[in-house]
Amino acid sequence: MTICALQAAMEGFEVKTVEEVLKDGHIFVTTTGNKDVITKDHMYGMRDQAIVCKLGILIMRFK
């Protein structure tokens, strides 16, 4: 568990991994600026018409 995830859990938020919510989620957003946070394999596991949004300072593509 990352520091941010631990802080969120301590504030009472439910914390799960991407893999745990792939089939249930409707919208996935990453704002880390890191590569491979949401991968092509993740997208294959998502429900039809899921929305994926990637924000960052560099031009990066999904793999």
Q: What ranges do the domains of the chain cover?
A: 16-63
In the prediction, which pLDDT does 50 show? 96
Residue 61 pLDDT > 90: no
Instruction: Give the pLDDT confidence of 21-57 residue by residue, as tens digits.
Output: 999 999 999 888 788 889 999 999 999 999 999 887 6
Residue 60 pLDDT > 60: no
41 or 60, higher pLDDT: 41
Measured CA to CA, the distance from residue 34 to residue 11 in angstroms comes to 25
Phi first, then psi: give them for residue 57, nearest 5 degrees.
-90, -15
Which has the closest alpha carbon to 42: 62, 56, 58? 62
* Single pTM value for the model: 0.72
How far, CA to CA in Å, does 18 sit from each of 21, 54, 58, 59? 5, 14, 22, 22
How far, CA to CA in Å, does 49 sit from each of 10, 38, 62? 32, 16, 17
Residue 59 pLDDT > 80: no
